[in-house]
Amino acid sequence: MSSEAQGRVNQRNRTRKAIVDAAMTLLAGGETPSVDAVAKAAEVSRRTVYMYFPTLDQLLLDATAGVLAQQAASRRAPSDKSDDVESRVERLARSVQGMSPEVERLGRALIRLTVEAGGREGPRAAPLRGYRRVEWIERALEPVRAQLDARRYERLVSALAMVIGWEALIVQRDIRSLSPSAGEELSVWAARALLRATLEEGERPGPRPSPRSRKRNPK
């Protein structure tokens, strides 16, 4: 890529970042920003905003995810250096589930925007959100990664993603009417149960072959 072309790419990236940052600032202040408000804060035109984000919901989805990532990074438990995977998973669950009302509000907004944006099609389609959550789960499971085959490992990551995060919080609050502390304890219990079940499953010997399926020793 020529230096001129690289310069154009860098400028587009800076403009996009300025737009998202402006929306993030407005969201963090408790506002639901309009395109006009974002354009004014980013010092760009409405047309420029729509060039990068054809719909306001797409912009709000990126901005909300960005605010939540910042909040999570600032309040996430320190990296656990121990090899006790159960402790690592518990620390992650408590860190993600123990959120302030403001962060919960943004999390609910993110889910609404994701639902309205529609799901991606195809088995390999990229998810609309959740990248960091999966990364944190995989990091917490590092001490036992070598003990699990690919199928069990991926299943465990998916299962933990169901009980740690915004979706679990909505079930805890709206369906079970749990307090924040009770919901946090439930997520910890569920995460530890899934981890233990997976590890115990890996330790159990497989089913013994039936007599009919055994090969006869050659005489």
Condensed to tens digits (0 to 9), the pLDDT of residues 2-26 reads: 777 777 888 888 999 899 899 888 8
| Predicted pLDDT at 78 | 46
Q: What whole-number distance in Å separates Cα of residue 59 and Cα of residue 62? A: 5
Q: What is the pTM of this model?
A: 0.64
- What DSSP assignment string belongs to the chain? --HHHHHHHHHHHHHHHHHHHHHHHHHHTT----HHHHHHHHT--HHHHHHH-SSHHHHHHHHHHHHHHHHHHHHSPPPP-SS-HHHHHHHHHHHHH---HHHHHHHHHHHHHHHHH-PPPSTTPPPSS-HHHHHHHHHHTGGGGGGS-HHHHHHHHHHHHHHSSHHHHHIIIIIT---HHHHHHHHHHHHHHHHHHHHHHHHSPPPPPPGGGSPPPP-
Between 34-38, 41-45, 153-157, 164-168, the lowest mean confidence (pLDDT) is in 164-168
Condensed to tens digits (0 to 9), the pLDDT of residues 53-87 reads: 888 888 887 887 777 777 665 555 445 667 899 99
Binned at pLDDT 50, 70 and 90, residue 219 comes out as very low
Between 27-41, 58-72, 129-143, 154-168, the lowest mean confidence (pLDDT) is in 58-72
pLDDT mean across residues, the chain = 81
